Amino acid sequence: GCMHWHNTDNNDKYFVFFYKTDKYTGKLLESTDEGKVFFTSVESLKDMKLAPNFNRYMYYSKVAKEVYALYTDNVEPFGLDECWVDVSKSKSLFGQDTLIAKEISGRIKKETGLTLSIGVSFNKVFSKIGSDIKKPDAITVIDSIHYKDILWPMPTRTIIGVGRSTEARLKSLGI
């Protein structure tokens, strides 16, 4: 998830941080450095004197989408803070997909101060998984040659839409 907080106790400073918590315990599993400063679990959020600023969050999302649009018109939003950005037809203008990913990441960091985790792959599902593998501020490539080496050892729950029940069913089928 992503949280954007306006901290009135810290010189009115704004913070944006990304985090991942355990779905059941609320324990913080990973976070950007900014997030680690603020909380160790979802429970600790209750004690903070921070107020979410949805407008500011949407502003950063809009800026990111504007940067994506500089490289392609094929941008598909996935939630509020993620997009699939198909640059397959942009390579002749901007170079290989990993180079484009580096440019996008650098530009957004320069314009907003935010880091991105980008997955580069030959399909949307694998690029989403790639974006989750390394955080924050990383580019993970899952290509058509090595995808089995990267993805096959991962739990089936890594796939978008696979939750506890589906994971259990897949395990019972030997998958």
Catalytic residue among 82, 103, 111, 167: 82
Tell me the two tokens of residue 36: 């680690």
Task: Answer yes or no: 34 catalytic.
Answer: no
Nearest by Cα to 21 from 37, 8, 7, 40: 40
Burial of 138: CB neighbours in 10 Å, binned 0-12, 13-18, 19+: middle
Residue 90: C-alpha distances to residues 40, 100, 107, 172 (Å): 41, 9, 17, 43
**Residues designated as active site:** 82
